[in-house]
Amino acid sequence: MDIFFYNTLTKSKETFKPIDNKEVKIYSCGPTVYKDATIGNMRTNLFQDTLRKVLKYNGYKIKHVMNITDVGHLVSDGDEGEDKMLKSAREENKSPLEIAKHYTELFFEDLKKLNIETPEIICKATEHIKEMLEYVKQLIENGYAYETSTAIYFDVSKLDKYGVLSGINLEEQKAGARIEIDKEKRNPYDFALWIKAPKNHLMKWDSPWGPSYPGWHIECSAMGRKYLGEQFDIHTGGIDLIPTHHENEIAQSKGACGKIPANYWLHGEYLLIDGRKMSKSLGNVYLLKDIEEKGYDPLVYRLFNYSSHYRNKINFTWEAMEGASKSLERLRNSYQLHIKGTDILNEEDNNKLIELEENFHKAINDDMNMPLAMSFVWEVVRFEKKSPEIANLLLKFDTILSLEIDKDIEKQEIPEEIKQLLEERKNAREQKDWKKSDEIRDILKQKGYIVKDTKNGVEIKGG
Ligand code: AMP
Ligand code: ZN
């Protein structure tokens, strides 16, 4: 069955044709590990995980590379401001290495909780300085880069066209050019490939231009080429990466080898919180742990994401989480009903199930249309007859959904020690000793159990 992806490069939905028929090569821009990943960041990772699983469902092997940016990403996303890693290190009174290690670990913990597969290759920017330097040298040799007193810049005017992804018009832009910090830049859109380190800069390496450090964009170009070659199949990231980071990756690749590095560019839209952008100043930044603290299985957040296409915005509210939580419960209960079912399916039933599987398959192949795919999952859930064959179909869907549909909530074994703590907490609550009740809840949390007080009594998750 054909797979279709919306390609930001051509602004159209295209039939997917991999370079190699067996193995699909993907590059995803990974996190800058200077702070906690938000549930917004996780939305982008979820769409990338669905992409992997859809390709696997269609029989492809995957070689997926994700970088860890642990140097060079400046506060402005462009060439201005402090390195995010250094800023964080200063604020938290730690070394950049400690910051990177800490937030990288947290990032992978979140991925695990959401059943997001780890890409085959994870590469850190600081471990690929040699490759990046070679890339910059090549760009200078090819006449695409120049040195100023502060950096090595990419000269966008040397390209046949800059801005193929975002469609910006350089001539129009020049008229109202941005106020430039660096007067030595030849064109407003020139960007730093390599930055000369000021004195006392913590992260720097020897280079032909003195102690210095890489720009953010060169990291992905160098690591992508190292692991996937000059041209690969799919490049992914959040929508905010289109106008700067990905545009510049394309520029670098064209300068180095005359090619656009990936054939398909897939971008995920943003998660909004209560209809607004997530930002510290609005106080509406949520992490996965906030969702867990409210007593939700992290997979509820995964299911919630299927209510919108990855190229559409999605609005996070706690009411929506409550709805998704009920849906996940229904899905898992339905699996249990079907696996224990004894109804005999006739030819008509079998044909209907084949049709539903085909519809599901078509929906995921249609640029990962998860809301549509879910509508077929619910049809299977509602199937009147109950049979293990239907449960198996749900399990097949779960290779995409990754919701642990077969998790038997009823059968959850709660250790004696936890039962005792729950009893003590119940007594404390009966005596309106809220302090003690909260203390016990914290102890339970440390032991991996999340307690949620609902209208129907206490719910416990974890273990
Ligand atoms: P940041 O933490 O802002 O550097 O974001 C890292 C990446 O996560 C960005 O490049 C985006 O692609 C993605 N991202 C950030 N915020 C959101 C959001 N609210 N919704 C979806 N993706 C996001
Ligand atoms: Zn990147």
Give the separation between CA 385 and CA 343, rounded to whole angstroms. Answer: 6
Sign of the CA dihedral with 63 first, then 68, 74, and 76 last: positive
Residue ranges lining ligand 1, Cβ < 6 Å: 31-32, 40-41, 43-44, 237-238, 240-241, 270-271, 278
pLDDT of 174 reads 59
Predicted structure pTM score: 0.88
Please tell me which residue, 102 or 451, carries the higher pLDDT value. 102
SS3 395: helix
Secondary structure letter of residue 78 according to DSSP: S
**CA–CA–CA angle 291, 293, 299 (5° rounding):** 40
Specify the ligand 1 atom closest to the Cα of 238. 12
What's the token pair of residue 305? Answer: 């994401």
**CA–CA–CA angle 403, 409, 410 (5° rounding):** 160
- Nearest partner of 222 among 97, 142, 96, 123, judged by Cα: 123
Q: Say how many Å lie between the CA of residue 213 and the centre of ligand 1.
A: 24
Give the separation between CA 380 and CA 34, rounded to whole angstroms. Answer: 43
Give the separation between CA 59 and CA 40, rounded to whole angstroms. Answer: 30
Contact (Cβ atoms closer than 8 angstroms) between residue 207 and residue 194: yes
Q: Say how many Å lie between the CA of residue 435 and the centre of ligand 1.
A: 37
pLDDT of 72 reads 65
Contact (Cβ atoms closer than 8 angstroms) between residue 133 and residue 125: no
Q: Say how many Å lie between the CA of residue 163 and the centre of ligand 1.
A: 21
> pLDDT (tens digit, 9 = 90+) per residue, 103-153?
999 999 999 999 999 999 999 999 999 999 999 999 999 999 999 999 999
Q: What are the two backbone dihedrals, phi and then psi, of residue 15, each rounded to the nearest 5 degrees?
A: -70, 135
| Topology of the domain covering 4-268 | Rossmann fold (3.40.50)
> pLDDT (tens digit, 9 = 90+) per residue, 348-391?
999 999 999 999 999 999 999 999 999 999 999 999 999 999 99
Specify the ligand 1 atom closest to the Cα of 32. 4
Residue with tokens 């800023």: 87
Q: Of the ligands numbered here, which is closest to the C-alpha atom of 74?
A: 1
Beta bridge partners of 449: 462
Nearest CA to ligand 1 atom 18: 40
The CATH number of 305-401, from 1.25.40.10, 3.50.50.60, 1.20.120.640, 1.10.3720.10, is 1.20.120.640
Question: Pairing relation of β-strands 191-196 and 212-214?
Answer: antiparallel
Give the separation between CA 71 and CA 126, rounded to whole angstroms. Answer: 7
Secondary structure letter of residue 409 according to DSSP: S
- Nearest partner of 371 among 386, 382, 360, 380, judged by Cα: 360
Is the pLDDT at 452 greater than 80? The verdict is: no
Residue from 8, 44, 66 to probe ligand 1 pocket by mutation (most atoms less than 8 Å from CB): 44
| DSSP class per residue in 121-156 | EEEEGGG-HHHHHHHHHHHHHTT-EEE-SSEEEE-G
> pLDDT (tens digit, 9 = 90+) per residue, 243-261?
999 999 999 999 999 999 9
Secondary structure letter of residue 15 according to DSSP: E
Please tell me which residue, 40 or 408, carries the higher pLDDT value. 40
